[in-house]
Structure 1
Amino acid sequence: MVSIEPSKDDAFLDLLLSAFGDSVLLGESIPASCHSDWTGHAACRPLALVRPTSTQEVSKLLQLCNQHRRAVVPQGGMTGLAGGAVPTAESVALSLIKLSGVENVDQDAATLTVRAGTTLQAVQDAAIEAGFCYPIDFGARGSCQIGGTLSTNAGGHGVIRHGMTRDRVLGLEVVLADGRILDLMNSMIKNNTGYDLKHCFIGAEGTLGVITRAVLRLAPPQRESRTLLCALRDYPAAVSLLHRLRGTGLALEAFEVMWQDFYAMSCEWQSNQSPLPPSYPLYVLCEVEGDASHLEMVLAAALETGEVQDAVMASTIKQAQELWAIREATGEFPVKLAPINFDISLPIAKIGDFVEAAGKLLTHRWPGIRIVNFGHIGDSNLHLTVDSNSLTENTSATHHAIETDIYGLVGEYRGSISAEHGIGLLKREFLHHSVRPEALNVMHALKQTFDPNNILNPGKVLS
């Protein structure tokens, strides 16, 4: 344990050390990975990092911090993209990394009970071992923690069929700001006993309570699936293809849309040859569960009508992985771009119009700006990314102006400024574009009720 210079915080730090011993890290012992999330926004070393090993220890920590009015910032795998787990120099970072492990898989009920610090990958592996699957999935599966996916109501590739994280949760254990442990560990699908309080904490980004355990709904094991990449003439053709696939009896696992700007850039980054020429306006990557001959008939019909211009179907697992590698190029964004990321939702019919309007708006104000568009349009989710390296004046003021324009346009389209990554710090000032004043007032009232001293992740979601 490192020593620190005497300061006004000494008495409180002594209490932490006395209560939690080696579970407390101070000063340079705190890993840099706990200073910010994947955005790198406002990186800051917290006053202390505490790593409880049990729900009781989380309760004890929150009780102590509440008593001394110390801010607590819950942290999971730090893979967030909204600044929701960024600490301040005066805060206590609460890492759930030691509160991990799958406790139980109930094969009769098809549920899994897990501690919040467990990675998504570990949950998926446990489900598969038991003969099921946990269908929430995205690229950060090996790093992100279940508590974080619950706190942000994470989405991912399979939302079109399986829903958001909220739809996979039956029960929670939550520690409130004053240390009380709220046992909501329901394991039954039917339980209609008044207010379903768990939904207050899913998507709340640790501002109302700290999730420590969960009961998750599992799905049947995935049958053999087919991966298909299609080239299309325009956005309406993508919507038509979505309707066609949904209406054929095939189980649509993923429907990923990539505009030409994204596809061409991603293929340029890949070492292998592009599976389809990068000259089409739009590309759709589909994951479909069902009979191959049935899918081939559906594809042939779409090609005949001109709905699909060209297509390639993976015949091996390796080929499927290569097709998915095009879509998952987003993992390279922090290295190869200086990204300003927008994770938004819009009515499906208007997404194409929004992409066009946003492009015109940004290129008019910042000629030469580089924009890439992609998303899971079957669940209304569009990702728009600006490479700030393409800006003549790459300043924080310019970044803010771009955010102001895009989120204002989202408001005009009656969309959501956050589809699956939360609000955190980065979107807080723009929340009014998607949440009306009356609803914002109720959100503030909930915060006051659950956390009257404002110690839980203060400044996140709500100002």
Structure 2
Amino acid sequence: MSALLDELTRIVGATHLLTGIDIPPQHCTDWFQTHSCEPRALVRPGTPDEVAQVMAICHRHDQPVTPQGGLTGLVAGAVPAQGDVALSLTRLSGIEELDTSAGTITVLAGTPLQTVQEAARAAGLLLAVDLGARGSCQIGGNVATNAGGNRVIRYGMFRDQVLGLEAVLADGTVVGSLNKMLKNNAGYDLKHLFIGSEGTLGIVTRAVLRLHPMPLSCCTAWCTLPDYDTVVSFLRYAQSRLAGTLSAFEVMWPDFHELVTTRLPDLRSPVASNGLQVLIEVEGSDSDRDMAMFCKLLEEALEWGWLQDAAIAQSIKERQAFWSLRDAVSEFPLIWSPYCGYDVSVPIGAIGHFVTELQSALRERFPHCEHVHFGHIGDSNLHVGVHLDRQWGLFPEAEIDDCVYGLLRNYGGSVSAEHGIGQHKKAYLGHSRTPQELALMHTLKHAIDPKNLLNRGKVLA
């Protein structure tokens, strides 16, 4: 142990190799604080080369390593296992190049998402993925978890923003290409080994991200619809009429809408109608034209009886108020503890039936529970929250997991839409992946990390 720490200290310096009580507590747990384990040491390399040297040393000593980014994950994917060295990428921060001709930005993995967004915006460009944790989450973690967010319906997941990638393997080998070209079919596209692999195959150190033209207009409305089938009809019609400008389509069931408007005193619904609530947003290039097209869409939907009510944001403040309702989920740990949240995917046409069946199953098995359902829908993503007051005894999270994931399996859904597997969901990965797929995952892991040093105990059981 002493020899290992001495070697690591020579690479990163004494101030960036911490042990014992000097390790900040956030490096020992996850955002929900459901898993906790103090690492053997915390090492904070400052360059990609230092990451490679650290991994080469740990490989020589057979020392397992847990990569850590902004520590905003929700599945305990960055919580160290007992005896691991935690490798933080916080110091590996900075923008190396912004190429307006290619529409790309090359960044170090520890750079916060918001920093990259602001740099792109200053150049008149858009980094399309946006998350609530933008100020804390890091690009390396976004890549490693294939982050999603509210704009996936238009721009795709984080995978779709990555053109080039550099990663360090378990033995310290640096692999990857900082490609800036949209078309490049020269052999295997190795970056996809690391995107979404949650640090189990390699540690992302650099990324070349695709940028888009910055939208010049934004139209936002809050609508009420009578049922899920009408929601799907409205979604498809909006996609067909809005010429590729639909950037958000957030759906909230009545249980979610009631909770956030009655338990959170500062939030008010922009409509009086009950039903399924839809937050729809369009980003385009011509304010007058886009607003006219947007209003016509809403008028037609009202005439046809699809919309029971609708409110169009007339200012940035009103738009922010609409989004505050949708983003109120961040307050759940304060007003609704204990609770468990689920991030799943279901084929779009089946989501309504899934929610109805799940609500019935939850009420039957947990008569005193409260639940909420909401999601992006246009990309198949549904979020579920379940709460039971402490007066009813120990919180039955495992039983609720079985209820949600068991039903999900019947629908051919995914146990993880955008937060990964980590430790929380690995027991249920087989609900969404075949035995053959799992076997291939194990084969890849063994081939690339035969000593099982990188983020052991995550993703694969």
TM-score range for the pair, normalised by the shorter chain length: over 0.9
Q: Distance in 1 between matches of 2:118 and 2:374?
A: 28
Q: 1:370 is matched with which residue?
A: 370
Q: How far apart in 2 are the matches of 1:111 and 1:11?
A: 42
> What are the superposed Cα offsets for residues 289-328 of structure 1, whole Å, 9 maximum, x if unpaired?
2411221111011011110100100000000000000000
Aligned residues: 452
Residue 52 of structure 2 corresponds to residue 54 of structure 1: no
Counterpart selection for 1:13 from 5, 12, 16: 5
The amino acid across from 1:401 in the alignment is E
- Classify 1:357/1:11 alpha carbon distance in 2 versus 1 (closer, same or farther; 3 Å): same
Offset, 1:152 = 0.3
Is residue 2:230 matched to residue 1:231? Answer: no
Q: Which residue of 2 aligns with 1:286?
A: 280
Partner in structure 1 of residue 410 of structure 2:
412
Show the 5 A alignment for 1:192-207. Answer: 192-207=185-200
Q: How far apart, in 2, do the equivalents of 1:274 and 1:459 lie?
A: 43
Return the offset for 1:356: 0.7
User: d(CA) in 2 for partners of 1:461 and 1:97?
Assistant: 23
Supply the distance in 2 between the matched residues of 1:103 and 1:382 (Cα, whole angstroms): 36
Aligned letter for 1:427?
Answer: K
When structure 1 is superposed on structure 2, of 334-343 and 229-238 the one drifting more is 334-343
1:222 aligns with 2:220: no
The 5-angstrom pairing of residues 33-432 of structure 1 reads 33-250=26-243, 251-268=245-262, 269-277=264-272, 280-290=274-284, 291-337=290-336, 338-389=338-389, 392-395=392-395, 398-432=396-430
1:368 maps to a residue whose letter is: H
Say which SS state the counterpart of residue 282 (structure 2) adopts: strand
Q: Which residue of 1 aligns with 2:287?
A: none
Match of 1:440 in 2: 438
1:6 maps to none
Check conservation: 2:166, 2:174, Cα contact below 8 A.
yes
- Residues 177, 209 of structure 1: 8 Å contact kept: yes
Q: Secondary structure at the match of 1:253?
A: strand
Seen in structure 2, the aligned counterparts of structure 1 residues 311 and 433 have a Cα distance that, compared at 3 Å, is same
SS class of match (1:150): helix
C-alpha deviations, 1:85-106, integer Å up to 9, x for none? 0113311111000000111111
Specify whether residues 272 and 356 from structure 1 end up closer, same or farther in structure 2 by C-alpha distance, changes over 3 A only.
closer
What is the distance in 2 between the residues matched to 1:246 and 1:69? Answer: 53
Q: Report the secondary structure of 2:186's partner residue.
A: coil
- Deviation (angstroms), 1:42: 1.4
The residue matched to 1:247 in structure 2 has which SS? helix
RMSD over aligned CA atoms reads 1.2
User: Per-residue CA shift, 1:223-267, capped at 9, x if unaligned?
Assistant: 211110001111111101101111113410100000111111112
Gaps of at least 5 residues in structure 1 are 1-8
Conserved in 1, the CA contact under 8 Å of 2:81 and 2:456?
no
The 1-side partners of 2:391 and 2:78 are apart by 28
Q: Which runs of 5+ in 2 are unaligned?
A: 285-289
Give TM-score, length-normalised by structure 2: 0.96
Q: 1:414 to 1:391 in 2, by over 3 A?
A: farther
Q: Does the 8 A contact of 2:169 with 2:203 survive in 1?
A: yes
Q: Give the match's secondary structure for 2:349.
A: helix
Whether the 8 Å CA contact 2:164–2:191 is kept in 1: the answer is yes
Identify the residue that residue 5 of structure 1 maps to in structure 2: none
User: Following TM superposition, by how much is the alpha carbon of 1:29 offset from its aligned partner in structure 2, in angstroms?
Assistant: 1.3
Amino acid at match of 2:416: S
- Pick closer, same or farther for the CA change 1:132–1:95 going to 2, 3 Å: same
Q: Distance in 2 between matches of 1:120 and 1:102?
A: 11
CA distance in 1, matches of 2:388, 2:102: 49
Q: Give the letter aligned to residue 12 of structure 1.
A: L
Deviations 1:376-418 (A, max 9, x none): 00000000011243672334xx211110121111111001000
Tell me if structure 1 keeps the 8 A contact 2:167–2:205.
Answer: yes
Query: 1 CA distance for matches of 2:344 and 2:388?
Result: 19
- Distance in 2, matches of 1:164 and 1:272, equals 30
- Give the 3-state SS of the residue equivalent to 1:409 in structure 2: helix
How many Å separate the matches in 1 of 2:361 and 2:78? 32
Deviation at 1:130, TM superposition (A): 1.1
| Distance in structure 2 (CA, Å) of the matches to 1:218 and 1:101 | 17
Question: Separation in 2 of the partners of 1:47 and 1:389?
Answer: 37
Deviates more, 1:267-276 or 1:299-308: 267-276
Rounded to whole Å, the distance in 2 between the matches of 1:41 and 1:15 is 33
CA contact (8 A) 2:12 2:46 kept: no
- Does the aligned pair in 2 maintain the 1:375–1:381 contact within 8 Å? yes
- C-alpha change, 1:31 and 1:394, in structure 2 (3 Å) is same
In 2, Cα distance between equivalents of 1:226 and 1:267: 23
The offset of 1:270, in angstroms, is 4.3
Q: Is the 8 A contact 2:176 2:190 kept in 1?
A: no
Describe the superposition over 1:19-49 as per-residue Cα deviations: whole angstroms up to 9, x where unpaired. Answer: 3322111111111111122121211221111
Matched position secondary structure for 1:353: helix
Q: Which amino acid is 1:108 matched to?
A: S
Work out the CA distance in 2 between the residues paired with 1:336 and 1:186. Answer: 46
Q: Percent identity?
A: 49
